[in-house]
Chains A and B, each alone.
Chain A
Amino acid sequence: MVVVVQTSLILLAAYGVLGLIFALAFHGRGLPAVDTNTRGAGVGFRWIITPGIVALWPLLAWRWRTAHGRGSFPGGPDAPVPARRLRAAHALAWKALATTAPVIVAAALWSRPPEAPRSRIPLPSPSPSSSADSLRSAPQNLLTNRVRHAAVF
């Protein structure tokens, strides 16, 4: 489990670094190629779209390629808005949410233990030094906080 998470985070970081490099290139030559409205756009605009460039760079790379006439990009500025399909997707999303969310929340409430779960968690070691200690101390830390401020709710 931990290994899977660690590997995924490393892959994610690599994806982000590639995205940053791509963003530099895209700001240089890609923007005017894919969208003429970006000509003369200011620094503010460039900053505001940069997080998205880093996150969605493969899509933009695809779009950039098609701007040079290679292949086609589904959607794009001139594609029609499929209002009907979107309404149907919206309805489907709601049906899924309306059936699952209440069940999960109800189950979670119903299964609340008779007393707060803090009683089941071992006491933390005074100063977390190994990762195992820090793990145990994390929930403990969390729970002491929760208990301290329970009155807010």
Chain B
Amino acid sequence: MSTTYRAIDWNRQKRVYDGTLGGLLALGLGLFVGISVLVSPNITVETLLIRGSSVSALLLLHVILCIGPLARLNPRFLPLLYNRRHLGVTLFLLALLHGAFATVQFHALGDENPLVSVLTAYGRDYRVFADGRINLPHFPFEPFGVLALFLFFLMAATSHDFWLRNLGASFWKAMHLGVYLAYGSVLVHVALGVLQSERGAIFPGLLAVGFVVVAGLHLAAARKETRIDRGKPLGEADGYAETCRVEDVAEGRGKVVLVAGQRIALFRHQGRIHATSNVCRHQGGPVGEGRIVDGCITCPWHGWNYQPEDGCSPPPFTEVLETYDTRIQDGRVWVRTIANPPRQHCAGTAVTAT
């Protein structure tokens, strides 16, 4: 976008979002502390802090990982996606609290630099084979926590749109795929750490359920995505490709179609059909799943606007979406396979002109 940056562009939606997040976290932590104190009355404050922060961070990580596919599967979850960067920053802060307290508690008592100790303490006496079997129970598990914390830091530190714009969406998005590496590291951190000393089945069970839910949702969303890209090719003539029926594009609504293997967004606005690229200039959100709001195409993810006639964001913003010529033939929308020059005015096709 193109207005002066602010630390956080507060609006009502974000306040509600952050308020809910804070409330749920406080509730979860309160429950955790309450149950822990009831179950083991002589639990120390340090342990409560280490465990409360790590467990809530792990929970939040699962929520974060589910939001993407949930929003792909059902638009009702879109409000969760809107401000998820605040979830990421909160996750990092919780994980930092956990890592810092764990380091102080377990590594700060000797003369050695605590950071060196975190990275080497378990590794020093470690042997791959012990007692005739692979010695996983003593595997150094803390470095995996450090790796995850480092990745969470990178993602949290670059969550402002300033970074998205200046590192480029491609690099920024790729860097944020690091969340999966971080998730894998956390799984190893927990499996080789706390699961080796806690004998119960509850924690491994919860971890497995979490993984199945996160993976299952991603699989379902991926199937939906491939179905979009596998749409059977329809007719093509004079540089135009046949797409859906005119009725499939409701007034004020968008529709994603395939044109020469590319996803294109169709919109009907004031009785005219317009076609634009489906890839939002912000974070690549699916423009065609959005709507027309106040005469502008509005991306479903974070609400960036584009004018249907020329793909330009309304001033003072400067982003431009590619537009495509359209025509209507036998009740079907045909879209030109080559984009118009940027910013070119394109009136769209009146629906009655069949």
Contact = CB atoms under 8 A, between A and B. Distances in A.
A108 B110 contact: no
Which residue, B197, B203, B279, has most C-beta atoms of chain A within 10 A?
B197
A134 B203 contact: no
Contact of B180 (A34, A97, A145): A97
Say whether chain A's binding surface is mostly helix, strand, loop, or mixed: helix
Interface in B119-142: 119-124, 133-139
A42 B119 CA distance: 38
Given A37-B165, A41-B5, A133-B110, A108 B136 contact: yes
A9 B115 contact: yes
Which residue, B6, B36, B116, B200, has most C-beta atoms of chain A within 10 A?
B116
Interface size of B as a range: 35 or more
Contacts, number: 246
B158 A141 contact: no
B90 to A, nearest CB: 14
A116 B171 CA distance: 44
Contact of A37 (B2, B120, B184, B192): B2
B116 A2 contact: yes
Contact of A134 (B43, B112, B188): B112
Interface string B99-119: 000000111011111011101
A94 B3 CA distance: 36
Say whether chain B's binding surface is mostly helix, strand, loop, or mixed: helix
Interface string A6-20: 100100000000000
Interface residues of A, number: 84
B39 A86 contact: no
B4 A41 contact: yes
B184 A101 contact: yes
Interface of B: 1-8, 35-36, 39-40, 42-44, 47, 51, 105-107, 109-113, 115-117, 119-124, 133-139, 153-154, 157-158, 160, 162-163, 165-174, 177, 180-181, 183-184, 187-188, 191-192, 194-200, 202-204, 207-208, 211, 215, 218, 222, 225, 263, 278-281, 283-284
The 6 closest A-B pairs by CB, nearest first: A75-B168, A134-B110, A44-B7, A108-B191, A81-B284, A52-B157
